[in-house]
């Protein structure tokens, strides 16, 4: 979910395609350049917008620890209920740990992910007085007519949601 890493992936994919299909090198180069430009054009204003948020308020509280790369890219501190891709709802101890952290850092908003229940995040918000900030997308694209049919859409919707709520 990192725009910085996505640019590396694009270049690695471009190199691999050129190596295995040199006859189409110009096509791969053109496509990689265009997609990299789209990501850079999206990333710059998002980075600028998030940078305006005071450092003490740059907390990202989610159910899953699936946003570490994004948090690193945008200098957000991260708190989560459980590690990546856990099929759980949060143990009482995990929920209590996050509640305590949200209270101690005066964090105003808590998010959940699109592929899991929002109940644990809403519980944390309710018990701390924080706002439930809504759903973030991290590892699942929607159908073509949905909110995040492409990686670019996923990145844009997720970071815009974070920036509006923090």
Same-domain pairing of 46 and 59? no
Same-domain pairing of 7 and 29? yes
Same-domain pairing of 82 and 125? yes
Mean pLDDT per 10-residue segment, the chain (166 residues): 93 99 99 97 88 89 89 93 70 92 96 89 96 91 92 91 89
Same-domain pairing of 65 and 39? no
Q: Report the pLDDT value the prediction gives residue 66, as an integer from 0 to 100.
A: 84
Q: Report the pLDDT value the prediction gives residue 92, as an integer from 0 to 100.
A: 86
Same-domain pairing of 70 and 144? yes
Same-domain pairing of 60 and 130? yes
- CATH of residue 128: 3.40.50.1980
Same-domain pairing of 13 and 80? no
pTM for the whole structure: 0.86
Same-domain pairing of 19 and 98? no
In the DSSP assignment, the letter for residue 147 is S
Q: Report the pLDDT value the prediction gives residue 28, as an integer from 0 to 100.
A: 99
CA 15 to chain CA centroid, nearest Å: 27
Q: What range does the domain containing 64 cover?
A: 54-165
Question: Beta strands of 12-139 (E only): which ranges?
Answer: 59-64, 77-82, 109-113, 131-136
Q: Report the pLDDT value the prediction gives residue 11, as an integer from 0 to 100.
A: 98
CB 113 within 8 A of CB 62: yes
Same-domain pairing of 46 and 61? no
Same-domain pairing of 12 and 71? no
Q: Total structural domains in the chain?
A: 2
Q: Report the pLDDT value the prediction gives residue 1, as an integer from 0 to 100.
A: 80
Q: Report the pLDDT value the prediction gives residue 47, as an integer from 0 to 100.
A: 87
Same-domain pairing of 84 and 124? yes
Same-domain pairing of 33 and 109? no
Q: Report the pLDDT value the prediction gives residue 85, as an integer from 0 to 100.
A: 63
Q: List the one residue out of 165, 164, 162, 155 whose CA is nearest residue 41.
A: 155
In the DSSP assignment, the letter for residue 4 is H
Among 11, 34, 50, where does a domain finish? 50
């Amino acid at each position: 979910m990192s725009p910085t890493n996505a640019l590396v992936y694009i270049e690695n994919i471009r190199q691999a395609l050129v190596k295995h299909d040199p006859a189409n090198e110009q096509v791969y180069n053109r496509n990689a350049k265009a997609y990299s430009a789209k990501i850079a054009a999206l990333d710059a204003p998002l980075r600028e917008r998030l940078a305006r948020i005071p450092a003490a308020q740059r907390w990202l509280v989610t159910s899953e620890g699936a946003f570490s790369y994004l948090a690193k890219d945008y200098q957000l501190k991260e708190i989560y209920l459980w590690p990546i891709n856990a099929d759980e709802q949060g143990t009482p101890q995990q929920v209590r740990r996050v509640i305590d952290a949200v209270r101690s850092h005066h964090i105003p908003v808590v998010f959940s992910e699109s592929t899991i229940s929002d109940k644990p995040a809403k519980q944390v918000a309710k018990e701390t007085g924080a706002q439930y900030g809504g759903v973030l997308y991290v590892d699942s694209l929607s159908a073509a007519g949905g909110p995040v049919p492409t990686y670019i859409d996923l990145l844009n919707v997720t970071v815009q949601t974070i920036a509006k709520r923090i």
